[in-house]
Structure formats: C-alpha cells, structure tokens
Structure 1
Amino acid sequence: MKITDAKVFVGGPGKNYVTLKIMTDQGVFGLGDATLNNRETLPAAYLRDYLVPNLIGMDPRNSEDIWQFFYRGAYFRRGPIAMAAFGAIDMALWDIKGKLANMPLYQLFGGKSRDGAMVYAHATGADLPDLMDSVARYVDQGYKAVRVQCGIPAMPTTGYAVPEKTGGQGDFITDFSGIRPKIEIWDTDRYLRFMPTALAEIRDRFGPELKILHDVHHRLTPREAAAFAKEVEPVGLFWLEDPTPAEDQDALRLIRHHSTTPIAIGEVFNSVWDCNRLIEDELIDFIRIAVTYGGGITPVKRIVDLAGLHHVRTGFHGAPSHSPISMAAQHHLNAWAPNFGIQEYLVLGTPECDALFPSDHAMHDGMMQVSDAPGLGVDFDESEAARYDYKPGSHPVVRLEDGTMWHY
C-alpha cells in the first residue's frame, strides 16, 4: 500500500482551517488538521513544499516510522509550525489505519474507558451580571463545567476573551480586518482586586456542583499567581489555567508550594520536552497540549501515558484554533484515556462548518459522544472547501497602561 498524493486546503467558514488529505493506491484517504491560528499559511507551505513530496510512495500504515522520519530527520526540531504540519500527517495516517481496520480510532488505542467525555463551555461577560447570565445559559443547556472570563471594572479594555459590550460575543477573538493586531490594555492590580470576589459570587449563585474554570492567560508573575491561587481556594475551582507564562516551568513550583488550587497548563506546548518536568514533578493537575500543536496522535498519546503515571489528567485545548478533524482526534483520545479529565469545547457546529466537515460526533448535556465510524469519523467536502479562500487576520496584543508589551 502506497501514498499516491496529498492535498492541502486553507480556508473555511469564518476561519482559515488548514486541512490535509492523504490519498492511497487503494482508494482509502485520511484527513489531518494543521491549523495554526493566525499563522495558517506557514504550516500549509511546509506541508506543500517539503513534507508532501517526501510522503509520496511511503506506506501509510507505517505511521510510527513516518513520524520519526519527519521529526528526527529535521535538524531544527519542534516549534508550532513544524509540529502542526507533522500533526496533520499523523492524524491522516491514523485515519487511514482506522478505515483499513474498519474500526473507530479509540478501538485501536485500547477501547473506551467511558461512555461520554465531559466538556466545558466558555462563559464570558462585559461585567459580572453579564457573565452570570452567560453561565446560566450554559447551565440551562446541560453543561456541567463552564470556564468564566469577565470584564474588569475600570480596566481600559475588556481583557482576554471578553466581549466589549453586554451580551456580546467574546469567544472568537480573531480580527479579520487586517494583519496588524489590535491592542488590549492590561492592569494586573485591578484584576487581582476584582477576580477573586467575582469567582466567589459565581460559586455562591450556582452552588457546589458546577465545575468552574478560569483562565489567567499567562498574565501573572509567579508570586502574583501563587497569591491568587491561594486566595481563590475557597471557591473550589476545577482548574486555574495558565497562571504564568508557560516558558518558565519552575514558576509552577512556587504556585504549588503555596496553594492546592488545581493548575492546568500546556496549550502552547509542542512536545513532551515542554512538559515532562511539570508532569514528572507533579507541578500541574491537567495537561492542555493539543493534538495538532503537539505533533499528532502518536506523540500526544505518549504524553497522556506519561501523565497517567503522575496523577495528571487530560484537558486538551479545544478553542477555534482547531478544526473538527483535530477535535475528532481528541474525542477518540478522550474516549480511551484512563486519565481523562475534561475537554474544552467551543461550538463549531454551524451549518457551513457541518457541510465542510460532516461528522457523527455529538454533544449532549455537556458530554461528548464519540462517533463509531471507522477512523477519525470526520469527512471533508472538497466542493464546499472551494467556496473559501484564505483571509488574513490576527489576535490582539497586550500592553500595560504605560505601554510595556505584556503576555497575550
């Protein structure tokens, strides 16, 4: 069995998805996702110009050897561009493998460990009453876990993933008006004065059963993060996400020494080498690495196994950075993983997105039900893909009030 061709598509409804389709001489094809948010043309070019020409003629069943060929064969390793491209290839090869076996991928991993995987939604508000309304809507829909982000009083701009006005949309933060990013202004002192009280009020209103998550988005120093994590312990957060910049792994040690608040980190990680110390030293409770940015199913499954040895659970990234293809790969890992924790889930199911990526994966009452179709369980309609072109966009950047660049 040989790979005969591979195509790369860039575009989608309101998003520049990077989709890889690998074809074989037996008519079986596989799909992968290489979407790198706001840098989408870079992994697409890497695939087209360097990786796909090497794929032609390879046996797609040898997914382990092919992954090693690209990873070890590159002198300059890792990084989000390369790993997203490798991840797309690896997903597509696993998709082919599942189709050949006539099994959903979770069966190839060892079968299901659960009937459904708990997901969490994103509740946002320009102010606290607005956020409370957003949380209530998700609770009414059956969600058991909700991430909460709130505008900070007197902050010059609304802050990370928060709508600019009451009732607005704060989840999708790519600005397609141009490549130059907008500037958000951040004030740590205002945040630290407001957010612990806001989290306590959310807990008081919604009671002990709702799982509450909060994302700091790398914006605190280690000392500030340790103090914040200690202060919010009575809230009983399900997790505190990205309290400090992810590059400094020792920062998590300071937080751990001062607080028992669960810590989730890793959505910007690209390999086991970014997180092995955090896992082995048990400085985190949830690993957030994504199948796309982590280089595919093959290496991420190894990270899940390592995490399971150290009481660390999964919490895969699931923002709009990922297409339904990579989300499907994560659904299968979630169904299998003995140390599953939770899955981030932003609703992608618009009619346009469903037409581009038909799938039987389904979410009911806050639980993801994985498809039993062979392989990933997601298809790709090339005629629909022809409707979309690449459109440049950007995330905001962050400055302090005095103009200092800060962590996005």
Structure 2
Amino acid sequence: MKIERIQTIVTCPGRNFVTVKITTDEGVVGLGDATLNGRELSVKSYLEDHLFPCLIGRDPRNIEDIWQYLYRGAYWRRGPVTMTAIAAIDMALWDIKGKLAGMPVYQLLGGKSRNGLMVYGHANGRDHAEAVEAVQKHIEEGYKAIRVQSGVPGLAKTYGVGKTKGHYEPAEKGLPPEEPWDTSLYLRHTPELFRKVREAVGFEPHLLHDAHHRLTPIEAGRLGKELEPYSLFWIEDATPAENQEAFRLIRQHTTTPLAIGEVFNSIWDCKDLISEQLVDYIRSTIVHAGGITHVRRIADFAAMYQVRTGFHGATDLSPVCMAAAVNFGMWVPNFGIQELMPHSPLTDEVFPHNYRYEDGYLVMDDVPGLGVDINEELAAKYPYERAYLPVARLADGAMWNW
C-alpha cells in the first residue's frame, strides 16, 4: 500500500479550517486537522511545498517512521507551523490505519479506559449576574464541569466574554482587534465572581477559570490562594510558560490545581513542568503538538508524575481534531477532562462526525478510524477569510499577553 495523493482543503464555515486528506493507492482516505489560528496559510504552504512531495509513494501504515522522518528530517525542529503540519499528517495516517483494521483509533491505541470523556463548557457573562446565569444554564444542560469567565468592571472587553450573551468566538475577520487590559482590576474582581457562583450553585459542579497568560507568577500565586475557598478544578494558563521555572513560584503560594499547555508544541515545552510536578493538567492539543504519535508520549510521561490530560478544545480546532481527541481520551489512562466549545451547526455540517455530547460527556460509537468526514462540495462554498485573534494593551499603550 502506498500514499497516492495528498491535498489540503481550506474552508471557512464561519471560521477558517485547514484539513489534510491522504488517499492511498487502494482508495482508503484519511483526514487530519492542520488549523493554526491566524496562521492557517503558513501551515498550508509548509505542507504543500515541503512535506507532501516527500510522502508520495510511502507506506501509510508506517506511522512511526513517517513521524520521525518529518520531525528529525527537517533539521529545523518544533515550532507551531512545523508541529501542526506533522500533526495533520499523523492524524490522517491513524485514520487510515483504523479504517484498514476496521477499528476505532482508540482500539489501536489499546482500547477503552472509559465510556465517555467528561467535558467542561464555557459559561460567560458581561457581568457577575450574567455569568452566574450562564453557569446555571450549563448545569441544566448536564455539564459536570464549567469554565467561568466574566466581564471586568472598568474594562470595555474581557477575554472569554463575547460581544453578545452566550457564544464566545475570539477570532475576528480583518486585522487583529486591540483589547484593553488591567491586571489589578482583574485580580480585584475574579475572587468575588467565584464567591457568587458558589453561593448560587453550591460545590457540586466543577468550576474552572482561564487567566490566559495575563499574570506574573506572583500575581498568579495570589489569585490561586484567594480562589482556594471555592475549590476550583483548575486555573488555566496562569502565566506564560516559556520559563517553566516560573510555575515553581506559583506552587509555593497556592494549592489550587494548575493547567497549562494549549500553545505547547512538543514534550520539551512541558518536560520540567511535568517532571518537577509544577502543574496538574497538561493541555497540549493533538493538532499543535505533533499528532497522536507525539501527544501519546507526552501523556505517558505525564502519567509517571500523576499529571493528567485536559486537552484544549476550542473552536480553533476543527471537528477532525476533536474526533482525534475523543479517540485519544477514550484510551489515555491518565485522562483528566476535555474542553468542549461546540462548533457552529454549519461547521458540523461541513465536518460530519460520530462523536457527540451526552449528559456532561463526549461519547462515540465503535466506528473505524477517527469517525469524521468532510463534505468537500459544501466546504468549497466557504473560501478562506483572513482572521486574527486579538492583541492586548495596557492603559499606557504597552503590549501585553492576550
């Protein structure tokens, strides 16, 4: 069996997605997600100009050898563009192998460790009252875990809160929008938000919060300590992790669990964080961290230190990646939780898939491969539209982490 044809499919059913489609000489097709939010065409070029020519004629069943070839053979290793491209090919190869075996990918990985993946939804509001109302709605919908974000008094915009009530989509068409940020207002406001949420819904639902890389280590330690009475499941991305040592300072000041890693590209980005037990959940995504082959190594390494998975699952991942995440989560022994930010009905129509939400969990049937497809005719009706995530500035105009 050989790889006969490889192509990218770029579509924008409300937001941009890049999909890799690999076809073998026996007509078996595999799909992989190659979406990198705001840099989609860079990955498309990397795939088409540099990787695809090297893969024609190779045996698609040799997943490990192809992964090593793409990673080691490039010399310029890692980075979001490279690892997203590798991930897309890797996902597609696992999809093919599952179809050849007549099994879901989770069976090839070792079989089920659970019947479904507990997910967390996004509850947000322009103020505390709206956020509490959104939490209550999620509980009614069966969510066992809920991420809570709220507007901050004094800031015109706040991360995690949409322009209108309900759905939040950060990417915007055109050039990057600029948003204000003030850490002192945020730190004053957030503990009070969670006090009100716990007063309204009690301590049964798991509550999570995303600081989105906005804090210094000592500020993150302060926030974690002040949130301890409200028993958070985790604080996500408390501070940028380029300096992994920064999390040692946070650990010294709080027992609130810490999650990190949605922008990580390889095991090296989290090696010290895991081995020194500075975090509790690793959030690397299959699409940005080298595919199933590499994320499996991250998860196995994390399991040695009782660190669990908590994969990123926002709408900047296509349903192809989410299908891969569900398969991976069904198998991985040290699963923690899966983020679920539902795609639009149009996106779901472009990418028909088997996974589904049921009473707080993502589940899937026993179908071969990843259990996802693409409607190419419909996808072609929605061409690429340039879009970016926002940037953040302080009151004095200085750039900050968005």
Match of 1:282 in 2: 277
| Pair 1:239 & 2:238 matched | no
Match of 1:175 in 2: 172
Match of 1:127 in 2: 127
Rounded Cα–Cα distance in structure 2 between residues aligned with 1:330 and 1:364: 16
After superposition, where does 1:240-279 map in structure 2 within 5 Å? Answer: 240-279=235-274
- Alpha carbons of structure 1 residues 366 and 168: separation in structure 2 relative to 1, 3 Å: closer
Corresponding residue SS for 1:232: helix
Query: Structure 2 counterpart of 1:85, which letter?
Result: A
Rounded Cα–Cα distance in structure 2 between residues aligned with 1:139 and 1:77: 43
After superposition, where does 1:172-321 map in structure 2 within 5 Å? Answer: 172-176=169-173, 178=174, 180-321=175-316
Unaligned runs of 5+ in 1: none
Match of 2:324 among 325, 329, 344: 329
Give 1:168 shift.
Answer: 5.2
| Pair 1:159 & 2:153 matched | no
Contact 1:362 1:371 in 2 (8 A): no
Corresponding residue SS for 1:173: coil
Contact 1:242 1:264 in 2 (8 A): yes
Corresponding residue SS for 2:388: coil
After superposition, where does 1:357-372 map in structure 2 within 5 Å? Answer: 357-372=351-366
Match of 1:89 in 2: 89
TM-score, scaled relative to structure 1: 0.97
After superposition, where does 1:386-397 map in structure 2 within 5 Å? Answer: 386-397=380-391
Match of 2:58 in 1: 58
Rounded Cα–Cα distance in structure 2 between residues aligned with 1:12 and 1:343: 24
Rounded Cα–Cα distance in structure 1 between residues aligned with 2:159 and 2:62: 42
The size of the alignment, in residue pairs, is 402
Cα distance per residue 1:202-224 (max 9 Å; x no partner): 11211111100000000111111
Contact 1:152 1:191 in 2 (8 A): yes
Match of 2:336 among 328, 337, 341: 341
What CA RMSD, in Å, does the superposition of the two structures yield over aligned residues? 1.0
Query: Structure 2 counterpart of 1:396, which letter?
Result: P
**Percent of aligned pairs sharing the same letter:** 54
Contact 1:185 1:400 in 2 (8 A): yes
Rounded Cα–Cα distance in structure 2 between residues aligned with 1:354 and 1:75: 37
Cα distance per residue 1:116-142 (max 9 Å; x no partner): 110010111110011111111111100
Match of 1:27 in 2: 27
Corresponding residue SS for 1:273: helix
Corresponding residue SS for 1:19: strand
Rounded Cα–Cα distance in structure 2 between residues aligned with 1:184 and 1:205: 30
Give 1:345 shift.
Answer: 0.4
Corresponding residue SS for 2:392: strand
| Pair 1:373 & 2:367 matched | yes
| Pair 1:401 & 2:395 matched | yes
Rounded Cα–Cα distance in structure 2 between residues aligned with 1:303 and 1:90: 15
- Alpha carbons of structure 1 residues 378 and 159: separation in structure 2 relative to 1, 3 Å: same
Give 1:272 shift.
Answer: 0.1
Rounded Cα–Cα distance in structure 2 between residues aligned with 1:381 and 1:119: 27
Contact 1:335 1:370 in 2 (8 A): no
Query: Structure 2 counterpart of 1:162, which letter?
Result: V
Give 1:349 shift.
Answer: 5.1
- Runs in 1 of length 4+ with deviation above 6 angstroms? none
Give 1:354 shift.
Answer: 2.6
TM-score, scaled relative to structure 2: 0.98
Match of 2:11 in 1: 11
